[in-house]
Amino acid sequence: MDDRVCVAAIAGAFGVAGEVRLKSFTAEPAAVADYAPLTSEDGARSFEVELMREIKGGFAALLSGVETKEQADALRGLRLYAPRDRLPSLPDDEFYHADLIGVAVYDTGGAPLGKVRAVLNHGATDLLELHVPGQSRTVLLPFTREAVPTVDLTAGRIVADPPEGLLD
């Protein structure tokens, strides 16, 4: 597991005074500022974060060192990371999405099904996007107790009982 977790992304400038549109990936969206300073993926840039107000899809925020609209626009698409030790501990049945990506998935009989490519959420529940060897398409597995009874990150494996017909 990486020692950093992606907690936000910059969606571009907001206004003309250097504010950015910040999309939070934290369970409590406003808590993203509590984990600052946040860094770029490569760790080359670090930002203090001040949330100014809630806007559609996130927050208008000030980042340290960003003073103009042009500087804010140049950061569009930048993902921001926080050290794992600043994030809250999770209950046994909750996971950081970053920790699930790349984990091998097996069926209840031990046969390999694939690896987690991404964790998606389109409203109802989280979905594990699986890359299935030998197939060009990906499979979306509901991330529920029924479909995924076991997640063992220490062993690097997920046991799944996919709904009938999902992998056909």
Rounded to 5°, angle at Cα 89 from 58 and 56:
5
Question: How confident is the model at residue 124, as a pLDDT?
Answer: 75
Whole-number percent of the chain with pLDDT over 90: 68
Would residue 165 count as lying in a domain?
Answer: no
Same domain, 148 and 80: no
Whether 71 is in a domain gets the answer yes
The verdict on residue 62 lying in a domain is yes
Q: How far apart are CA 135 and CA 86, in angstroms?
A: 39
Q: Which of 28, 23, 32 is nearest to 5 (CA)?
A: 32
- Per-residue pLDDT at 167: 75
Structural domain includes residue 167: no
Q: How many domains does the chain have?
A: 2
- Model pLDDT, residue 75: 96
DSSP 8-state class, residue 164: T
Q: What is the spatial distance between Cα 85 and Cα 68, in angstroms, rounded to a whole number?
A: 32
Are 64 and 109 part of one and the same domain? no
Look at residues 52, 86, 120 and tell me which one is the last residue of a structural domain: 86
Evaluate if residue 139 carries a pLDDT over 60.
yes
Assess whether 18 and 77 both reside in one domain.
yes
Strand partners, 138: 131
One domain for residues 58 and 106:
no
CATH number at residue 142: 2.30.30.240
| Token duo for residue 134 | 């030998």
Residue 91 lies in a domain: no
- Please tell me the least confidently modeled range out of 1-5, 21-25, 62-66, 113-117: 1-5
pLDDT (mean) for 140-166 = 91
Asked if pLDDT for residue 34 goes beyond 60, the answer is yes
Residue 168 lies in a domain: no
Q: Residue 168 — pLDDT band, cuts 50, 70, 90?
A: confident
Q: Can you give the residue range of the structural domain that contains 30?
A: 4-86
Give 9's pLDDT tier (boundaries 50, 70, 90): very high
**Residue 52 maps to which CATH number?**
2.40.30.60
44 Cα distance to chain centroid: 20
Question: Tens digits of per-residue pLDDT, 42-83?
Answer: 999 999 999 999 999 899 999 999 999 999 999 999 999 999
Write the pLDDT tens digit of every residue in 74-110: 999 999 999 988 988 888 888 888 889 999 999 999 9
Q: What is the mean pLDDT of the chain?
A: 91
Report if residue 92 sits inside a domain: no
Q: How far apart are alpha carbons 54 and 105 in whole angstroms?
A: 38
- pLDDT band for position 1 (cuts 50, 70, 90): very low
Contact by Cβ (8 Å): 113, 124 = no
